[in-house]
Amino acid sequence: MKPLYSGIFIGVLISLLNPGMARQTTEISNRPAQSSLAELKRVARPLLIFSTDALNTHFQKQLEFLHVTSREDKTGAGELTERRVVLIPILESGEYLPTTGASLFHLLSVDEASRLRKEFGVKPGEFETVLIGTDGTAKKVWRTPVRLQSVLELIDGMPGRQSERREAERHPPR
């Protein structure tokens, strides 16, 4: 199984080791690491982005809508990290190496990407974005690029996210 690329999601790791530190600002590494969708269950909310390649208009627009394409605009990265969202591009062309926001990205092995394309019925040439909950189930499928606010509102309405917010209020970072 050949890994394409995956970024380390330090916020998730920190929240597992020490939940109180999860909300503190940390230096985030861009070092590649292997991951699979199953490894993210109960840990993160994967946002799968199916596309032909990184130059696809819909793919580029999706990253722009999520505010993860600019080094200056940290809005999307912060909001997504707070909600434990990881971006998983699944490209027909293979490898995607983000130029900004690398800590938000995980790329899967060729076998895992192929399995997910089949599982979600994404045909060659199609674009699709799928939000997966921490329980591992698909919560919403979009066939066109989705705006950051729509993703955040959907996540914030989920019982798991509401529970996380209550827990954070009870145990604020020191």
pLDDT digits (tens, 9 = 90+) for 10-52: 333 334 433 443 433 233 344 334 467 888 898 999 999 999 9
- The highest-level CATH class for domain 10-18+26-170 is alpha beta
**pLDDT, position 35:** 66
Strand partners, 86: 46
Alpha-carbon distance of 69 to 63, in angstroms, equals 6
Rounded to whole angstroms, what are the CA distances from 61 to 52, 58, 124?
Answer: 13, 5, 19
Listed by start position, the domains of the chain span: 10-18+26-170
CA-wise closest residue to 84 among 172, 142, 158: 158
Q: Which residues does the chain have with pLDDT short of 70?
A: 1-35, 70-73, 95, 97-101
Q: How many CB atoms lie within 10 A of CB 82?
A: 17
